[in-house]
Amino acid sequence: MKEVPQHIGLTMDGNRRWAREHGVEVKKGHEEGARRIEPLVDYAARQGIKYLTFYAFSTENFGRQEDEKSAIFQVFDMMLRDAVVERMMENKVRVNVIGDIDRFPRMIAGSVKKLVKRSAKNDTITANFALNYGGRQEMVQAVKKALSAGEEISEGTISRHLYTAGQPDPELLVRPGGERRLSNFLTWQSVYSELYFVDTLWPDFTPQEFAKALDWYEARQRRFGK
Ligand code: IPE
Ligand code: MG
């Protein structure tokens, strides 16, 4: 029996390099990147994976130039109106957000929240989207919430106030795009995660590429075998 992780984190990296390599505008790179999401969710659901977390926009990404941010937001807006949303609803995908989405343009934040609500009872797989997410920021807000609830600070109370409360920690983090670092992604949750890095740029990260990461993970697991 193939052992599949319950939760996998995916860092979406390499969109601009992909655009440059293909001689197209940066926005097209972000669009192609966004189009990889739904096939991966579908594939993961078929494998029995219960949670996928996509690192789509970090707190640090807010420091990018206005025109690039606006291109990224246009891509988000387009995807929220795209047929993929209905496909995910039909496939009973629960959409969830981790991060402080209220700093996003109001239209986008509103549509995302609506989709989160609308898909709340879906139960095939949960797709978490990390939007204006940072691992340190997540921990700080968790501690603040615990304190204001009058709770004592412990691993348990912090975990319960993270955006991922109630979800298993990711057994595997996958980072396409060639960089070998975590970049503030799932900082608290990743302490025991297996880390898979691959040079393939995110817009080329297909379910076939994902399958290679799962095979690699399975081999890692075997090395831990008793
Ligand atoms: C990831 O691709 C998308 C976001 C961070 C929003 P990049 O935009 O980081 O593309 P590269 O890494 O510069 O190629
Ligand atoms: Mg990058």
> What pLDDT, on the 0 to 100 scale, is given for residue 223?
61
Q: Map residue 182 onto helix, strand or coil.
A: coil
Judge whether 169 and 192 are in contact, CB under 8 Å: yes
The two tokens of residue 104 are 């996003």
Q: Is there a domain that residue 213 lies in? A: yes
Q: Is there a domain that residue 80 lies in? A: yes
Nearest residue CA, atom 11 of ligand 1?
14
Work out which ligand 1 atom sits closest to the CA atom of 19: 14
Q: Is there a domain that residue 1 lies in? A: no
Task: Please give the residue range of the domain that contains residue 85.
Answer: 7-218
Is 61 one of the catalytic residues?
yes
Nearest to 141 by CA among 103, 114, 192: 103
The mean of the pLDDT values for the chain is: 96
> What pLDDT, on the 0 to 100 scale, is given for residue 49?
98
Q: Is there a domain that residue 2 lies in? A: no
Q: d(Cα 10, Cα 213) in Å, to the nearest integer?
A: 11
> What pLDDT, on the 0 to 100 scale, is given for residue 52?
98
> What pLDDT, on the 0 to 100 scale, is given for residue 225?
58
Read off the CATH number of the domain in which 209 is found.
Answer: 3.40.1180.10
pTM for the model: 0.97
Q: Is there a domain that residue 87 lies in? A: yes
Q: Is there a domain that residue 225 lies in? A: no
pLDDT tier at 152, thresholds 50, 70, 90: very high
Catalytic residue among 42, 61, 184, 204: 61
Distance 5 CA to ligand 2 centre (A): 26
Please say if the pLDDT value at position 132 is more than 70: yes
Beta bridge mates, 125? 93
Residue 196 Cβ contacting ligand 1 at under 6 Å? no
pLDDT tier at 170, thresholds 50, 70, 90: very high
Distance 111 CA to ligand 1 centre (A): 23
Distance 10 CA to ligand 2 centre (A): 13
How many structural domains comprise the chain? 1
Query: What is the tens place of the pLDDT at every residue in 189-210?
Result: 999 999 999 999 999 999 999 9
Please say if the pLDDT value at position 76 is more than 80: yes
Is 204 one of the catalytic residues?
no
Q: Is there a domain that residue 180 lies in? A: yes
Distance 148 CA to ligand 1 centre (A): 36
Q: Is there a domain that residue 224 lies in? A: no
Work out which ligand 1 atom sits closest to the CA atom of 58: 5
Count the neighbouring beta carbons within 10 Å of the beta carbon of residue 192: 8
> What pLDDT, on the 0 to 100 scale, is given for residue 3?
78
Query: What is the tens place of the pLDDT at every residue in 82-96?
Result: 999 999 999 999 999
